[in-house]
Amino acid sequence: MEQLLQIFLFIVTIAVAYALGSIVESEHYVSIEKREKDCLSLPVVTSYKIEEKDNILEARLVYGSVVISVDYFKRFLAVLRNFTGGRLTAYESLLDRGRREAILRMKKKAQELKADIVLNMRFETFPIGGLSSAQPGASNCFEILAYGTAVRLKS
């Protein structure tokens, strides 16, 4: 009886997590794509030199950070995948969303500074919280930081 209840609760939790996770993810992607289109005119590059180096008016550090967590369904899927090994596709969209969101936030900051370009853009990814004691090293929650140098040119 007790086992039945536990199995039932587990299935319900997984199903609810799957439904909610899918909705949240697709809404996030819609928002990301819209905002990416809106700030397309601001270039972000990984090189740290520009041709117009005598033309620089101002250079400032800009960064965008996001903390993002995976839903319970994908977490469980990742646990299963960890057992067999292979590509952890469940976490791919999580990190993709995180990186794009971090760039968007960084770009927003650069736009506020009226920057013409962001140079030397870099990513940092930190696992935070949600560490499972049974599985050291595995994390369900990440901070993704995108940073670069916003440059304003003489017009």
Partner 1 sequence: MKYIPKAITENVNVTKVNHLQEFFVLIGGILGSFIIIYLVLGLTLDKVIEKMPAKLERTFSNLFSQAYGFKKTLPIQEQAAQNLLDQLVERISPKDPSGYAVHIVKEPVVNAVALPGGNIVLFSGLMEQVKSENELSMVLAHELGHFAHRDHLRGLGRGAVLVLLSSMFLGMDNSLTNFLMNILVTADLKHSREQEMMADQFALDLVQERYGHVGGAIDFFERLREKEKLPHFLAFFATHPHQDDRVHLLNQRIKNKGYTVGEIIAFHFTEEEKK
Question: Which residues of this chain interact with partner 1, rule CB under 8 A?
Answer: 1, 3-4, 6-7, 10, 18, 36-37, 40-41, 43, 51, 73-74, 76-77, 79-84, 87, 89-90, 92-93, 95-96, 117, 132, 134-135
- For 152, other C-beta atoms within 10 Å of its C-beta total 17
Q: Which is nearer to partner 1, 94 or 145 (CB)?
A: 94
Q: Which is nearer to partner 1, 62 or 118 (CB)?
A: 118
Residue 18 Cβ vs partner 1, minimum distance, rounded to whole Å: 7
- Give the closest residue to 68 by CA, choosing from 34, 36, 50, 92: 92
Residue 33 Cβ vs partner 1, minimum distance, rounded to whole Å: 8
Residue 80 Cβ vs partner 1, minimum distance, rounded to whole Å: 4
Residue 17 Cβ vs partner 1, minimum distance, rounded to whole Å: 11
**Residues 6+ away with beta carbon under 8 Å from 110:** 42, 62, 118, 148, 150
Q: Is 12 helix (H, G, I), strand (E, B) or coil?
A: helix
